[in-house]
Amino acid sequence: MTESTAAPRRKRTDARRNVEALLDAAKTVFGTSGVDAPAKEITDLAGVGVGTLYRHFPQRSDLIKAVIEREIDACAEAAPALAAEYEPGEALARWLDRLATFVATKRGFASALHSGDPAYEGLSGFFMAKLGPALGSLLDRAVAAGAIRAGVSPQDLLYAVAKLCAPRPDEAPGYGRRMTALLVDGLRSA
């Protein structure tokens, strides 16, 4: 069996735990200090060495991309749970608030993503592929229940929330969430 046809090696339990700790720490540090925060700040919070960080994420862009993908996955996975727990309009509003929180708290992500670094090329497609269907199911339920007006596409709403939550230096961190709540109020049926 050649190296290219061999089954991918499974990560050891401690390696998986280290990756999870690094991703959790990076999420926290990126949220407070931005994506250019020192690697040592991330590794100290994760309780691992700098070598462990670079073994799993050789480039800063690898870590940023992994954090973003993980957050997108978590947001997409929240849709069915919210739909099961809340009425359709409320489930949609809560999911959009979660999305707004994700977008608004990622200091420096927008500039990194638009930096031209080829490592980020697929993230826009990943964002739409994961979040579009999740939001679409919530939208369909809310429209069918008469909670919001028809005619809004998941793509339009995703772009609107992303624009509303773009970090602004002159606004408090909750600005994007407030604007998203205003958007949701505007979608409600009369």
Question: Where does residue 77 rank: exposed (0-12), middle (13-18), buried (19+ CB within 10 A)?
Answer: exposed
Other C-beta atoms closer than 10 Å to the C-beta of 57 total 21
* Cβ pair 14, 48 in contact under 8 A: no
Predicted model pTM: 0.81
Q: How many Å apart are CA 2 and CA 132, to the nearest integer?
A: 39
Structure token digits, residue 107: 């200091």
Q: How many Å apart are CA 30 and CA 115, to the nearest integer?
A: 17
Q: How many Å apart are CA 6 and CA 53, to the nearest integer?
A: 26
Instruction: Find, among 113, 132, 135, the residue nearest to 123 by Cα.
Output: 113
pLDDT of residue 19: 94
Instruction: Find, among 78, 94, 86, 189, the residue nearest to 144 by Cα.
Output: 189
Q: How many Å apart are CA 134 and CA 98, to the nearest integer?
A: 12
* Single-letter amino acid code for the residue at 174: G
Q: Which domains does the chain have, with CATH numbers?
A: 10-58 (1.10.10.60), 64-187 (1.10.357.10)
pLDDT of residue 5: 54
Per-residue pLDDT of the chain (190 residues; tens, 9 = 90+): 454 555 555 667 888 899 999 999 999 998 888 888 999 999 999 999 999 999 999 999 999 999 989 999 999 999 999 999 999 999 999 999 999 888 876 656 666 666 778 888 888 888 899 999 999 999 999 999 999 999 999 999 998 988 888 767 777 768 888 888 999 989 887 5
127's enclosing H/E stretch is helix 123-144
